[in-house]
Amino acid sequence: MPKERHKSQQQQQQLLLFLILLAFLLYHVSADDADVMARLAQSLSPTPSSWTGSNFCKWQGVSCSSNKVTSINLSSKSLSGTIPPEITQLSDLKSLSLQRNQLSGPLPPLSNHPSLQEINLDFNRFDSTPQHFLSGLTSLQSFSINNNTFLQPWKIPDSLRDSTAITTFLASNANIIGEIPDIFHSLPSLQNLRLSYNGMTGSLPKSFSNSAIQYLWLNNVGFSGTIEVLGNMPQLKEVWLQVNKFSGPIPDLSACTELSDLQLRDNTLTGVIPDSLTKLPKLQSVALQDNKFQGPMPSFPSGVQVSLGDTNKFCNPSPGPCDPQVSSLLEIVGAMGYPVTLADSWEGNNPCQNWKFIICEKGSVTKLNFGKQNWTGTISPAIANLTELKTLSLNDNRLVGAIPTSLTNLKQLEIIDISNNNISGKVPAFVSHVTVITTGNVYIGQDVPNNYPDSSTSSHNAAKSSSSPWVVVVPVIVFFLISSVLGFVIYRRYSNKKTITYKWAGKGSESGNSEKQLIVNVENTFPISGQVTPIRNPGEKSDYHVHDGGNVTIPVEVLREVTNNFSEDNVIGKGGFGIVYKGKLHDGTRIAVKRMESSLINNKGLNEFKAEIEVLTKVRHRNLVALHGFCNNGNEKLLVYEYMPQGCLGEHLFDWQEMGIEPLTWNQRVTIALDVARGVEYLHSLAQQSFIHRDLKPSNILLGDDMRAKVSDFGLVKSSPDGDYSFETRLAGTFGYLAPEYAATGRVTTKVDVFAFGVILMEIITGRKALDDSLPDEKCHLVTWFRRLLVQSNAIQGALDPTLRPSMDEKTFQSILKVAELAGHCTARESCQRPDMSHAVNVLSPLVEQWTPVPDEDESFGLDFHLSLPQAVQKWKANEDSFSKNL
Ligand SMILES: Nc1ncnc2c1ncn2[C@@H]1O[C@H](COP(=O)(O)OP(=O)(O)OP(=O)(O)O)[C@@H](O)[C@H]1O
Ligand SMILES: *[C@@H]1O[C@H](CO)[C@@H](O)[C@H](O)[C@H]1NC(C)=O
Ligand SMILES: *[C@@H]1O[C@H](CO)[C@@H](O)[C@H](O)[C@H]1NC(C)=O
Ligand SMILES: *[C@@H]1O[C@H](CO)[C@@H](O)[C@H](O)[C@H]1NC(C)=O
Ligand SMILES: *[C@@H]1O[C@H](CO)[C@@H](O)[C@H](O)[C@H]1NC(C)=O
Ligand SMILES: *[C@@H]1O[C@H](CO)[C@@H](O)[C@H](O)[C@H]1NC(C)=O
Ligand SMILES: [Mg+2]
């Protein structure tokens, strides 16, 4: 059997070799752990008493398996000293417990260790975190580093996502900075998260959604943003978010059926406490004090420990519903995340008591003034619950979504301004007297898929929306077809009846495409041409964008170009609003551009800008300067008017000598007076709403080449509330023209304009300014002086503008006397003794020599020129059939 023996010898040799190898390996590896443990023992001070001898597996607090260290527990041993970096070479180490000592120095390089499951470093004095800290700890289940206040500021690394099995991460009072990384989708087992008492920033990460977190302790950290994500964390048991800067409302927490402790005090949370919160089955403790909660005071079941504090903004001091208007307003601003500015101002249960952004009449909310707030969210359908609402200003925010159709139920509504938001979808069909300002909403009119986080629905209709340019293009085409037909009809009608063609009609007809030609024809032949804002084909060459409600925006680039970059050479004047430039659009239209001074871009200036647009889009009259459009582009606020080539009345009355122009004849003056009277009469007698100019003066009366006048500057115009023709308001206007009762009390009635008109008549007669400080006291105030002369017989003659004398005949003089008498009447001290503007029109019209007929309603095809052109076209279309019969 030599062969077999040989074989077994071979086996023995192999076994021996293997054993030697094994011994070597074991020796080497355990020598490694021994080395590391020896180093650890050395660097601790004092060395723990039992840590002597070479068998480290016997040392107290050390556990081994197969002579490999698996756990080290040095908890509460009053140890100081440091932890050597080699400790991470203990390849089988699963648990490292060093808490409650005074260990200092850098933390060991806790990274790329596939065995480590538990690390507790609480209550030590470690001072720095290593590179790659908390990366590659693939088995980590629990990590704790509370109360290590000596740490250099550190951030929670993104690489924590490697620890997919982690259930507990506790790091309060550990000098953490920065944001919580958004990694919680990768940590599906995390149940406990504690970051209290740190100096962090940012908001709750989105990936908290659907996490397994039960204990969320994030108090005293410095977080901001909303707490919306809590609604998607159904496992929550304890939520401590007190003493942060969280804002916005409490979300619907009805999914959080396990929640027992909710600490939200000391934040700036707003909005209504959801009723569902009071019904959570396991809720035991809830702290809501020191926030800005609104709406009804919540009422929790008796077993729940509740702190509400006394600084919240509940509508009533005890539970119970709020006033219906308050509920509606809260629902409306709820759609915008309950902005905190509102919580600060909206106190109590009556929105008509000085609530910011709310204007009431007779106890009902009539105006929501939410413009320029940079608010986000959507337009709530609950706005329709404010049944008396007239004005809805939502401009210059970051609102998304559509205009709710419920708003068409508002019977009193006049203006909706949603300009400069991100509103999409169709504009609902409002009745024609509602002005909808939609500029600066890229997707308006388009069906954009709803992919906002809170209302996410289907994304598969995205393809559908990309074909939606037609939604815009079709109405534009239809509009121009209608305009063409309208223009053609009017053209035909007036080429047949040439007799009434209005003499001082606007611009010369320019060649262009046929639509343009036809509309220009409307202007040239239509009896009341000055009223119609020229609206041209919005093709490549046009400078206009026409919007719903007849608004027209003109890009700032265009205005920059046509005014030669607002060059000095193009300046035609300067006023309270800013500098006025002249320019010529690409289609040849001459324009005057008013550029708002940047210092005025505050509330007052913006209100006037808005007021001017609001008013001018509603009123069109041949004696009112037409607004061609406007531009509201960031800090650039520009109004674009028709250009009035002969400047203002003031120049012709007072500065004609310096300007080297002819003084106005009496006939021109009385014609101008009548034009002004007509324009103002129109403002005062608008059917829907009466407007008061409040700043009538010669610089706001502009002249065309035919020396016919138009009234400008509606920035100060205030609409007068229905039925009540006087209301108190801030003082605006110009000294010398202010009616005494207005100057004394701020009460504004149409008679304020009548007074100013009387002053202008005096200026027209005398050629003197309303206030002239260069004259002696008894003459410097024109009204006082003139009225004194009026009561003396023949005294007026001496007061006449000397330029009128040479051509004075008896007829002219009688005319002047009549105007002087009217001027006295208009400036009566008591407002009730002043006549209406229509009386002034009646007095003046017989004095004007070349009397041009007023077109009567029949001749204007029943077009209501109180409407903007697009609205008028719409209305006309409805009556199309009856017109064609007449043709
Ligand atoms: N549409 C226009 N066409 C021609 N010139 C104009 C036009 N608008 C204004 N101007 C000129 O610009 C000047 C300044 O006008 P602006 O209205 O800004 O100031 P103002 O009338 O003097 O004072 P206020 O700010 O009180 O109205 C006017 O005096 C007028 O000469
Ligand atoms: C560590 O030891 C302490 C007692 O010294 C004990 O209370 C604690 O539970 C131990 N920790 C671990 C993780 O074994
Ligand atoms: C741990 O930190 C918290 C928060 O600052 C503090 O309240 C607590 O007293 C600290 N504990 C110890 C023992 O220092
Ligand atoms: C608003 O009106 C609708 C319909 O009448 C009603 O369902 C809703 O509760 C109202 N909202 C408020 C806040 O009053
Ligand atoms: C509006 O809000 C956004 C985001 O909150 C901010 O970046 C921006 O600066 C704000 N704009 C203004 C004008 O306050
Ligand atoms: C505006 O809203 C659309 C969706 O309607 C969105 O795709 C787009 O990003 C938004 N734009 C801005 C600037 O917010
Ligand atoms: Mg002016």
Whether the CB of 424 sits within 6 Å of ligand 6: yes
Residue 197 Cβ contacting ligand 3 at under 6 Å: yes
Mean pLDDT, rounded, for 763-780: 88
The yes-or-no verdict on residue 325 having pLDDT over 80 is yes
Check if 625 has its Cβ closer than 6 Å to any atom of ligand 1: yes
Partner residues linked to 591 by β-bridges: 583, 642
Tell whether omega for the bond before 46 is within 30 degrees of 0, i.e. cis. Answer: yes
Fold for 335-464, please state it: 3.80.10
Q: Select from 348, 350, 343, 347 the least CA-distant residue to 365.
A: 350
92-140 pLDDT tens trace: 999 999 999 999 999 999 999 999 999 999 999 999 999 999 999 999 9
The mean per-residue pLDDT over the stretch 582-595 comes to: 87
Same-fold call for 25-314 versus 335-464: yes
Q: Which residues are annotated as a binding site for ATP?
A: 594
**The pLDDT value given to residue 490:** 37
- Ligand 1: does its nearest atom lie under 6 Å from the Cβ of 712? yes
- 20 pLDDT more than 70: no
Query: Residue whose CA is closest, atom 7 of ligand 2?
Result: 75
Tell which one of 443, 446, 455 to mutate to probe ligand 6, the residue whose CB is within 8 A of the most ligand atoms: 443
Question: 839-866: per-residue pLDDT in tens?
Answer: 999 999 999 875 444 444 333 333 333 4
Q: How far apart are CA 611 and CA 719, in angstroms?
A: 9
Supply the pLDDT for residue 542. Answer: 47
Average pLDDT of the residues in 816-827: 95
What would the DSSP string read from start to end of 339-400? -HHHHHH--TT-TTTT-TTEEEETTEEEEEE-TTS--EEE--GGGGG-TT--EEE--SSEEE
pLDDT digits (tens, 9 = 90+) for 300-321: 999 999 999 999 999 999 999 9
Say what the pLDDT of residue 730 is: 41
Average pLDDT of the segment spanning 750-769? 95
Residue of 385, 408, 410 to mutate, ligand 4, most atoms within 8 A of C-beta: 385
**How would residue 408 be classed by pLDDT, with cut points 50, 70 and 90?**
very high
649-847 carries CATH number 1.20.1440.230: no
The residue that leads in pLDDT, 739 or 326, is: 326
Cβ of 97 below 6 Å from ligand 2? yes
Residue 551 binned pLDDT confidence (cut-offs 50, 70, 90): low
- Report which protein residue has its CA nearest ligand 6's atom 7: 448
pLDDT digits (tens, 9 = 90+) for 185-215: 999 999 999 999 999 999 999 999 999 999 9
With DSSP H G I counted as helix, E B as strand and the rest as coil, what are the percentages for the chain, rounded to 5?
Answer: 35, 20, 45
Neighbours of 189 (CB within 10 A): 14
**Under a CB-based contact definition with an 8 Å cutoff, are residues 725 and 759 in contact?**
no
Residue nearest to atom 12 of ligand 3 (CA): 147
Residues with beta carbon < 5 A to ion ligand 7? Answer: 575, 700, 713
d(CA 431, CA 428): 10
Q: CB–CB of 617/551 below 8 Å?
A: yes
Q: Where are the domains of the chain?
A: 25-314, 335-464, 490-642, 649-847, 857-886
Cα 115 versus chain centre, distance? 54
Contact 219, 244 (CB under 8 A): yes
What residues act catalytically? 695
Q: Tell me which of 3.30.565.10, 3.40.50.300, 3.30.420.40, 3.30.200.20 is the CATH number of domain 490-642.
A: 3.30.200.20
Query: How remote is the CA of residue 716 from the centroid of ligand 5, in Å?
Result: 30
- Would the CB of 647 count as within 6 Å of ligand 1? yes
Query: Which residue's CA is the closest to the ligand 3 atom numbered 8?
Result: 147
pLDDT in tens, 262-279: 999 999 999 999 999 999
Ligand 6 within 6 A of 423 CB?
no
Instruction: Kindly report the protein residue whose alpha carbon is nearest to atom 17 of ligand 1.
Output: 575
Q: What pLDDT, on the 0 to 100 scale, is given for residue 623?
A: 93
CATH number of 25-314: 3.80.10.10
494 within 8 A of 525, measured Cβ to Cβ:
yes
* 477-492 pLDDT, tens digit each: 434 444 443 444 333 3
Best probe residue, ligand 1, of 699, 708, 731, 771 (max atoms within 8 Å of C-beta): 699
What is the chain's alpha carbon radius of gyration, rounded to the nearest angstrom?
Answer: 41
User: Taking 50 as the threshold, does the pLDDT of residue 701 lie above it?
Assistant: yes
Average pLDDT over residues 447-466: 40
Cα(71)–Cα(74) distance, rounded to whole angstroms?
10
Mapping DSSP onto H, E and C, the string for 839-869 reads HHHHHHHHHCCCCCCCCCHHHHCCCCCCCCH
Expressed in angstroms and rounded, the spacing between residue 147 Cα and the centre of ligand 3 is: 6
- pTM here is 0.54
Residue 455 has phi, psi (to 5 degrees) of -125, 40
Q: Tokens for 661? A: 């122009």
For residue 143, the cross-strand partners are 119, 169
Helix (H, G, I), strand (E, B) or coil at 155: coil
Q: Phi/psi of residue 488, each to 5°? A: -65, -45
Q: In angstroms, what is the span from residue 374 Cα to ligand 5's centroid?
A: 6
Question: What value does the mean pLDDT of the chain take?
Answer: 80
